[in-house]
């Protein structure tokens, strides 16, 4: 099958710096899932995967700034069959002084279990690897957390492991990554796949929320989709 990827962008907030980077640095079809709650957007993306037949699907959050170098790296390695899931990686957050945190979103440990009544606590995650360690590596790195930083896989992976949240409606990236890990599906990244994370401290960006303010909408960029998607 020909390499035919599509980028699925979750957009609960209007974050222009991220939006502009996605528009200008990634030259593949894009779908913007705008103003959905996290459980809603997981369901919409699953529906999109089932109803379309792209070779690869890429999940992207709303608070990452993607360079052309990072996008090209992810597309290059993500196309290779030996890398079942390939993802970008990020700084964990931005400190009060404007500098990147010392730790990254990269982990190589066992992820916390999925619970029946809530998502995992921050302290339950395995150690996050320092930014400098990731930057100094040569070549691909096997990791355990696909944190929706252009997380890319073939269609069959998304069909076998559909996206979903924990019962509290959050942490869908952990839910997906945990199930992949338990099934033995390997996740990979590369030092050149760095994506700037705009998160300030341990709290999400507080402004520009679209959820609850406008009607949820799926927006298509330069592509054809089944008719049913136009009235989501």
The DSSP element (H or E) to which 181 belongs, if any, is helix 172-183
pTM, two decimal places: 0.93
Q: What is the CATH number of the domain that holds 224?
A: 3.90.550.60
Contact 144, 187 (CB under 8 A): yes
Structural domain span for residue 74: 5-231
3-state SS assignment for residue 42: helix
Query: In 4-104, at which residue ranges do the beta strands (DSSP E only) sit?
Result: 5-11, 30-34, 56-60, 64-65, 85-86, 89-90
Question: What residues does 218 pair with on adjacent strands?
Answer: 33
Specify the number of domains making up the chain.
1
80-85 CB contacts, 8 Å cutoff, 24+ apart: 83/140, 83/186, 83/188, 84/153, 84/154, 84/157, 84/185, 84/186, 84/187, 85/146, 85/151, 85/152, 85/153, 85/157, 85/180, 85/185, 85/186, 85/187, 85/188
Per-residue pLDDT of the chain (232 residues; tens, 9 = 90+): 799 999 999 999 999 999 999 999 999 999 999 999 999 999 999 999 999 999 999 999 999 999 999 999 999 999 999 999 999 999 999 998 889 999 999 999 999 888 776 777 777 888 999 999 999 999 999 999 999 999 999 999 999 999 999 888 888 999 999 999 999 999 999 999 999 999 876 566 566 899 999 999 999 876 555 555 554 4
Give the HSE-up count for residue 26: Cα atoms under 13 Å, Cβ half-sphere. 30
């Amino acid at each position: 099958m020909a390499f035919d990827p599509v980028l699925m962008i979750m957009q609960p907030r209007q974050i222009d710096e991220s939006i502009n980077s996605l528009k200008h640095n990634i030259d593949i079809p894009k779908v913007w899932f705008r103003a959905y709650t996290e459980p809603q957007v997981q369901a919409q993306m699953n529906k999109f995967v089932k109803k379309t037949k792209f070779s690869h699907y890429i999940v992207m959050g709303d608070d990452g700034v993607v360079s052309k170098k990072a996008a090209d790296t992810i597309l290059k390695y993500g196309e290779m069959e030996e890398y079942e899931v390939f993802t970008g990686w990020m700084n964990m957050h931005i400190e009060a002084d404007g500098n990147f945190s010392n730790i990254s979103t990269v982990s190589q440990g066992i992820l916390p279990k999925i619970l029946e009544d809530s998502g995992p606590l921050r302290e339950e995650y395995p150690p996050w690897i320092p930014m400098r360690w990731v930057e100094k590596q040569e070549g691909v790195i096997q990791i355990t957390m696909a944190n929706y930083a252009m997380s890319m896989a073939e269609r069959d992976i998304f069909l076998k492991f559909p996206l979903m949240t924990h019962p509290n409606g959050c942490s869908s990236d952990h839910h997906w990554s945990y199930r992949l890990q338990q099934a033995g599906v390997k996740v990979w990244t590369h030092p050149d796949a760095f994506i700037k994370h705009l998160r300030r401290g341990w709290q999400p960006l507080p402004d520009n929320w679209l959820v609850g303010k406008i009607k949820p909408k799926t927006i298509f960029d330069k592509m054809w989709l089944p008719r049913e998607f136009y009235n989501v």
